[in-house]
């Protein structure tokens, strides 16, 4: 893992090696933020006495990302955490169908919480010449925990368990340059040691390399400036706080076949930005009972889905039809276009 503090993939990006499952937070400083970062991931195979075994015991989560520090310039409220790639993805038709299904599952799991995220499935060049990288980004309130510590108090240790914080409490938080902020994200759907998506419906799992080839995955945090927060997260609008560049020897092994399947185009596609649409991701770690409840309750799920603006039909099929017609790309509002907000 490499810790970067400049433009993602650019010549000014300064990178240092970051230890996974470190015994303390790794200090860093970037334009706009000064603090520490800690990345935890279950080892594979998992020994009984590894340093964070007690913390992960009894939990399905595969990784946890923790960030703590102070903003060194006024941050505003358009702060995002997410995942990015720097190269062309070039999804084949079959992989695009699978990506559509993955996004529909994410939408299903998260529709009840009202958080939004923005995404783009391919490296694209806008009419302005600005670039939009492949990304999946969440607003700061989508963090599983946010802890605010006034200057006169001691912030929580990054190596200790951090309890989840209710959504309404997170929405009341404002950001400044005085307090110390501790953010924690975790998931059971991504495993960077195994380099795979996992714990998906029907027992499905897949290597990241099947979708992105041999390129690295970047965990990023940034402020978004200019334009609408609902618009594409282009490079010119990002003020990056930090990035973690994750690579894995399994990516190189699994990515060889994927590289051969890339589409012919190895340059960004070019088009004007499209209007974004609204969606959410808060409860990615649902309990089995909650998952079954949401999965089986057609009325509850589809009542929260809004038709995509501009479509000449209602994209919400019956629950049975939606899963029996999984090859129909238009079945899920979040994937009618390759980029948007949901």
Query: DSSP per residue over 19-58, as a string?
Result: -TT-SSPEEEEETTEEEEEEEEE--SS--TT-TTHHHHTT
Beta strand 33-41 pairing with 26-30: antiparallel
* Structure confidence at residue 251 (pLDDT): 65
pTM here? 0.76
Q: What is the mean pLDDT of each run of 10 residues along the chain (342 residues)?
A: 63 73 93 94 92 93 96 93 92 88 74 72 91 91 95 97 93 96 94 92 89 92 85 91 86 54 46 36 48 52 38 33 32 38 49
Instruction: Give the H/E segment covering residue 327.
Output: none
| 16 burial via Cβ count (<10 Å: 0-12, 13-18, 19+) | exposed
Number of domains in the chain: 1
Length reported for the chain:
342
Strand order in the sheet with 190-191: 190-191, 196-197, 206-207
In a domain, residue 244? The reply is yes
Distance from CA of residue 129 to its chain's centroid?
25
In a domain, residue 107? The reply is no
Cβ neighbours of residue 108 closer than 8 Å, sequence gap 6 or more: 294, 295, 301
In a domain, residue 103? The reply is no
CA–CA distance, 190 with 108 (Å, rounded to integer): 17
- In degrees, to the nearest 5, what angle opens at C-alpha 63 toward C-alphas 61 and 65? 125
Nearest in space to 106 (alpha carbons), one of 33, 251, 204: 204
In a domain, residue 51? The reply is yes
User: Domain limits at 22?
Assistant: 2-95+115-275
In a domain, residue 316? The reply is no
In a domain, residue 340? The reply is no
What token pair was written down for 333?
């509002």
* Structure confidence at residue 4 (pLDDT): 66
* Structure confidence at residue 136 (pLDDT): 87
* Structure confidence at residue 6 (pLDDT): 57
What token pair was written down for 147?
């802890």
In a domain, residue 29? The reply is yes
* Residue 65 main-chain phi, psi, to 5 deg: -120, 125
In a domain, residue 341? The reply is no
* Structure confidence at residue 104 (pLDDT): 78
* Structure confidence at residue 228 (pLDDT): 77
């Amino acid at each position: 893992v490499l810790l970067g503090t400049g433009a993602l993939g650019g010549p000014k990006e300064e990178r240092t090696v970051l230890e996974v499952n470190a015994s303390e937070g790794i200090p860093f400083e970037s334009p706009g933020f000064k603090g520490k970062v800690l990345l935890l991931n279950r080892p594979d195979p998992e020994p009984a006495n590894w340093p964070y075994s007690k913390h992960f015991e009894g939990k399905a989560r595969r990784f946890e990302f923790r960030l703590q520090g102070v903003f060194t310039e006024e941050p505003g409220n358009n702060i995002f955490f997410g995942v990015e790639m720097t190269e062309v993805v070039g999804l084949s038709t079959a992989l695009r169908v699978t990506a559509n299904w993955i996004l529909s599952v994410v939408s299903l799991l998260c529709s009840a919480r009202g958080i939004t995220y923005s995404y783009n499935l391919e490296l694209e060049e806008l009419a302005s010449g600005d670039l939009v990288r492949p990304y999946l980004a969440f607003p700061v309130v989508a963090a599983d925990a946010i802890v605010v510590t006034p200057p006169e108090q001691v912030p929580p240790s990054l190596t200790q368990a951090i309890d989840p914080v209710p959504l309404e409490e997170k929405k009341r938080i404002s950001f400044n340059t005085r307090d110390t902020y501790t953010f924690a994200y975790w998931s059971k759907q991504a495993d960077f040691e195994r380099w795979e998506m996992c714990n998906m419906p029907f027992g499905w799992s897949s290597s990241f390399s099947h979708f992105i080839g041999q390129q690295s995955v970047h965990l990023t945090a940034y402020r978004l400036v200019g334009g609408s927060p609902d618009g594409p997260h282009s490079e010119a609008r990002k003020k990056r706080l930090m990035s973690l560049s994750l690579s894995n020897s399994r990516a190189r092994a699994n990515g060889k076949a994927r590289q051969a399947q890339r589409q012919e185009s190895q340059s960004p596609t070019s088009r004007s930005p499209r209007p974004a649409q609204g969606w959410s991701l808060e409860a990615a770690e649902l309990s089995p009972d909650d998952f079954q409840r949401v999965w089986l309750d057609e009325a509850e799920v589809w009542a929260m889905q809004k038709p995509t603006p501009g479509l000449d039909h209602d994209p919400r099929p019956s629950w049975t039809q939606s899963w029996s017609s999984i090859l129909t790309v238009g079945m899920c509002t979040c994937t009618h276009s390759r980029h948007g907000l949901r």
